[in-house]
């Protein structure tokens, strides 16, 4: 009985341990490289602009290049840039199905008749 409840508790706790920890100040997922992104990506806009974005590595790089060319974002040493791209691409990867499905017509408010 004791063994069983320990096993149950462990199995309940495990997903919590595996879930990504999020920095409460910035909302950034705490994974390797997050402090570099915190240092470089929150000066001009909220980190939320970063955490709301989903993109592959190339698109993250494109975003950085765009900010460098048009928004006065500074240049990064290659290793710093690579670290941020690794972090961004693995923690905020593309998610094609982030949009919810359309609301079924039966659940929509009835169209009101024009006056």
**Encoding tokens for residue 63?**
């975003």
Closest approach of ligand HEC to the CB of residue 85, in Å? 9
The binding track of 33-72 with respect to ligand HEC, each residue x by CB under 6 A or -, is -------xx-xxx---xx--x---------xx--x---xx
Does 28 participate in binding ligand HEC (rule CB under 6 A)?
A: no
Closest approach of ligand HEC to the CB of residue 64, in Å? 5
Closest approach of ligand HEC to the CB of residue 45, in Å? 5
Instruction: Give the span between the Cα atoms of 73 and 40, in whole angstroms.
Output: 9
Instruction: Give the span between the Cα atoms of 46 and 66, in whole angstroms.
Output: 17
Instruction: Give the span between the Cα atoms of 74 and 4, in whole angstroms.
Output: 56
Chain contacts with ligand HEC (rule: CB under 6 A)? 40-41, 43-45, 49-50, 53, 63-64, 67, 71-73, 84, 88
């Amino acid at each position: 009985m004791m063994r069983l409840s320990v096993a149950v508790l462990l199995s309940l706790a495990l997903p919590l341990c595996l879930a990504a920890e999020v920095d409460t100040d910035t909302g950034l997922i705490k994974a390797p490289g997050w402090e570099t992104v915190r240092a470089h990506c929150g000066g001009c806009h909220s980190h939320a602009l970063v955490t709301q974005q989903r993109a592959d590595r190339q698109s993250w790089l494109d975003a950085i290049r765009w900010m460098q060319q048009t928004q006065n974002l500074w240049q990064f040493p290659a290793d710093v840039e690579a670290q941020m791209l690794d972090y961004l691409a693995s923690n905020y990867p593309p998610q094609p199905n982030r949009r919810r499905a359309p609301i079924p017509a039966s659940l929509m408010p009835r169209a009101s008749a024009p006056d």
